[in-house]
Amino acid sequence: MREMDDPLGQAPLSIVATDEAGEPETPDAIFLAGGSRDWSLWAACRGCGGYALPLHVERREDWIDAAARAQSFLARVHHKTCLRCDARSRRFRRAPAEGAMWWDPEAGDWMMNGELPGGTRLTLPLDVNDYWSVPEAAAAAAALSTDGPAVRVVPGPELLDPQLPSIFHIADRWAMWLPCEDCGGCELPLREGGRLEAPSATAQAKRVVELAAAEGCPSCVAAMFQGGHLPPDTPALTWYDPIEDHWMLWQPVIGVPEGVTMPLGLSGFDVSRVAVEVKVEQLLFGDESLPPEAPA
Ligand SMILES: [Zn+2]
Ligand SMILES: [Zn+2]
C-alpha cells in the first residue's frame, strides 16, 4: 500500500492555537501563523525541538487542504528525516560539495554545499525562502554550482525551450535537452537520483554541452552511422546512440558496404572517453588480462 493511501496517514491532525505551536508537549499539528493569515505545520521532533513549515494554504476555512498537505509532508519527509536535525548535521559536517541541496528550517532557506577555489568548504544559502519552490531552488543551485555553458532547470520536458540546453527530473532520474541547429536537438539521460540533486545534474549537463560542441551533436552523428552514409575509407569509429543510450563501435568490413556495428556495453554520452577506448581495445584485440578459455 502506498503511504498516501494509508488511512492512518490521512487521520486528522490536531489544530492548535498559534501560541501553542512549538511547546514541548505539542505533537505534529497545524496552526494559523501570524494571527489568521496562513496555515503552517508544526513538525515535532525530540532531537531538535521541531520546526514550523508554512503550507501555502491561506484561507481559514481551507483547513482540510492544509491538513492533507501536512500529512503528506509528514509521511514522505519528516517521519523519515527531520529536516531541522538534517540541516544541523550538514552545517557542522561541512561535507565535500556532493551536489545535493536541502531545506534548512532554521534559516528558512534552501542550502547547498560549496567549495571556494582554495578548497574551503562552506554552506551556501540559495535565497529561495520557500520549501515548496523546488524548481526555483534547483535553478539557483545550478547557477551557483558551476561555470561553463548555461543550462536551465525546468520542471518537466513540456516546459523546455528547444533552443536552450535544459535539464528536468523524470521517473527518478535526470534527463537533458540538447539543442542542435541541424536536427533540432535530442533528449539524453543523465544521472539517476532525486530532484534535490539538481546541482550535480547541471554540472553533468554542462559537460555534455561541451562534449557535443567538440565532437558533434550525438543525434546527428548517430543518424549518419544508422543511415550508412559513410565515405568508403572510414576507419573503425565509436559513436553514441542517444535513443538506446549505448555506445557503439562501427567497423568497415570488406564486402559489407554498410559496415558492421556492435554495442560496446557502455552508456551515458558523457562517459569517460578513456573508458570508451579501453572497451574498443578489449573488443578488437581481446582482453589479455582475462584467463585463457578452459578447454572444453
Ligand atoms: Zn529534529
Ligand atoms: Zn543534431
| pLDDT at residue 155 in the model | 81
Task: Count CB neighbours of 14 within 10 A.
Answer: 13
DSSP strand pairing (109-115 vs 121-125): antiparallel
| pLDDT at residue 150 in the model | 83
Say how many Å lie between the CA of residue 52 and the centre of ligand 1.
11
Say how many Å lie between the CA of residue 219 and the centre of ligand 2.
5
Give ∠ CA 30-36-41 in degrees, rounded to 5: 20
What angle separates helix 134-145 from helix 198-215, to the nearest 10 degrees?
A: 50
Give ∠ CA 111-115-117 in degrees, rounded to 5: 150
Closest listed ligand to the CA of 79: 1
Burial of residue 239, with CB atoms counted within 10 A of its CB: 0-12 exposed, 13-18 middle, 19 or more buried: buried
Give how far Cα 11 sits from Cα of 29, 268, 292, Å. Answer: 12, 45, 65
Say how many Å lie between the CA of residue 273 and the centre of ligand 1.
45
Q: Which residue has the cell 556495428?
A: 261
Q: Which residue has the cell 567538440?
A: 214
DSSP 23-83: -TT--SEEEEETTTTEEEEEE--TTT--EEEE-S---GGGHHHHHHHHHHHIIIIITT--H
For residue 252, give the C-alpha cell.
Answer: 568497415
| pLDDT at residue 8 in the model | 45
Say how many Å lie between the CA of residue 240 and the centre of ligand 1.
47
| pLDDT at residue 35 in the model | 63
Kindly give the parts of the chain with pLDDT less than 50. Answer: 1-10, 294-296
Q: Which residues surround ligand 2, an ion (CB under 5 A)?
A: 180, 182-183, 217, 219-220
Q: Which residue has the cell 531552488?
A: 137
Give the closest residue to 55 by CA, choosing from 27, 9, 13. Answer: 13
Say how many Å lie between the CA of residue 89 and the centre of ligand 1.
10
| pLDDT at residue 290 in the model | 53
Say how many Å lie between the CA of residue 37 and the centre of ligand 1.
26
Say how many Å lie between the CA of residue 277 and the centre of ligand 1.
49
Nearest 10 degrees: Cα torsion 193, 199, 204, 210: 160
Q: Which residues surround ligand 1, an ion (CB under 5 A)?
A: 45, 47-48, 82, 84-85
Element containing residue 137 per DSSP (H, E):
helix 134-145
Give how far Cα 250 sits from Cα of 213, 219, 224, 253, 260, Å. Answer: 22, 16, 11, 10, 6
SS3 state at 101: strand
Residue-wise pLDDT for 129-162, tens only, equals 999 988 888 888 877 776 778 888 888 888 889 9
